[in-house]
Structure 1
Amino acid sequence: MSRPVILTCALTGAGDTTGKSEHVPVTPEQIAADAIAAARAGASVVHIHVRDVETGQGSRDNALYREVVRLVGESDVDPVINLTAGMGGDLFVDPSNPTTHLPGTDLVSGLERLSHVEELRPEMCTIDCGSLNFGEGSQLYVSTPDMLREGAARIRELGVKPEMEIFDTGQLWFANVMVEEGLLAPPPLYQLCMGIPYGAPADTGLLHAMVNLLPEGAEFTSFALGRNQMKWVAQSVLLGGHVRVGLEDNLYLSKGVKATNAQLVERAAGIIGDLGETVATPDQARDILQIERNGGHR
């Protein structure tokens, strides 16, 4: 019997990709249109960042989230809405004077990162499970154990399902601690994020090892960046997990051919089917993750 696999589409992210592909959505209308197209192509879940409409850079503006959610909600599709709650953790330091914050820093408390989640009460939101040297230069992503425990507890109070973003093995360790402490409603959902410099490398052996560290009863999904994106769809399905694709992680359908979000979803859905499984409907995803249609835990 085939297994329903949750297919998430990460629509736009916050990276500096808008100048690299004309398909990366920026405005609330464009992001919502891509969410709707991805859902029509088979996405069970749409993962939403928003961007400043003037600069194209990532934003924490509640009004932008509100508009995207409204437009998707008024459409003829009903994907699970997963809002990022990772914005507000960026710290750029002067290497010669680390107490000095450089331009680009956007650092707020863990609870302030949940402002739009507090307002909109989506079915899901993310929680980034640790700090990380984020690429070259002097950028850090800051997410401390105290911030995480406080944020996880508040997310549970709000009745929102957290997707724990895991960028390295130490973050997986801490996520398991939060599960042991009862901070998350069952089943815990892990997103194994691979290939982001300098987190966990996109290595299939490492993915297998991380899956083996998950607690009993956990659900997981995984992704890798760029040309590894579709390989990770297959790897994740074969290991019993769910999958994520989208322009947040990869801009290309094939070498030199720029993709749309809907095209990436269609390609991933084909891989899932070729492996003998089915793509979960949004309601099947809700059942698997034990979330209510309008938020709240079962």
Structure 2
Amino acid sequence: SHPFKRAANSGRHIAVVGAGPAGLSCAHRLAMLGHQVTIFEAEQKPGGLNEYGIARYKMTDDFARKEVEFLLEIGGIALQYGQRLGDNLSLAALHQQFDSVFLGLGLGASRALGLTGDDAPGLMPAVDYIKTLRQTKDLESLPVAKRCIVIGAGNTAIDMATQMARLGATEVTLVYRRGTEAMSATDHEQEIAKANGVRMVTWAQPDEILLDDQGCVAGMRFAKTHDQAGQLTPTGETFDLAADAIFKAIGQGFDSASLTDEAARELARDGERIQVDAFFRTSMPNVYAGGDCVNSGQDLTVQAVQHGKLAAHAIHQALAAKQEAA
């Protein structure tokens, strides 16, 4: 038996964009409150970064999928895959067709290094590779670069480096532009990486991507850095590291391509993120947002889940007030 009971059908239908932690949490709570929900998800399966972005060795098998199936058991929730806002899905249409819309858009776009060769074969965002890894049944079939460079200092960078070492790369080097003490990855994560043979190079920032005659990645030139009166400054020295693959794990930006239809363009923004009030309301009536696409200070899964839940209650209350006014 399911621990959550669904309230009597309210006759209201809400669109949720994104089947990541925020969207799923919002949909589940709305369903519990008796509303019909349709979730529109860009990928071919739900779970968001939990399914696509967390290193394979950390997740138990099918964790995200089982969790989603459990959430859907409450009833009243339909899931549609391959639906990408700004591509084959428009906010204007959702706004017209549904009583309310919740945007649970994640951080889809990997930040570019801003160097020439950003699109060279052999250079890729770590999250994309981790995604491939999580979706590969047979790891033997996956081409593993012998020498890898991972750029970044967060848990994704460490995950990536550890993952490559475990997959059999002979040389994995993690490079960070500041010192170890400034790394956002926890000491525990750093220890795991070192235990797996990952070499860490600090005070070095990417200067140039080195390519071979075929235009593939051959390595990277780094500029040595130091802290000068609180400013990160190149020392003028450079050094080269040979590599067959370079993974950038320098954080993910908000994928603003999803906010390009006329209606979405009108949403008030806070920097690149969507601006919301204390009730997760955007500047557009009946449109709410939560999770990584709003500026909340911390991009933590628990927080995304909490946003979804609180937004669901705000939507519910607004719909109830409307009903009373009618």
Normalised to the residue count of structure 2, the TM-score between the two structures is 0.23
- Rg larger for: 2
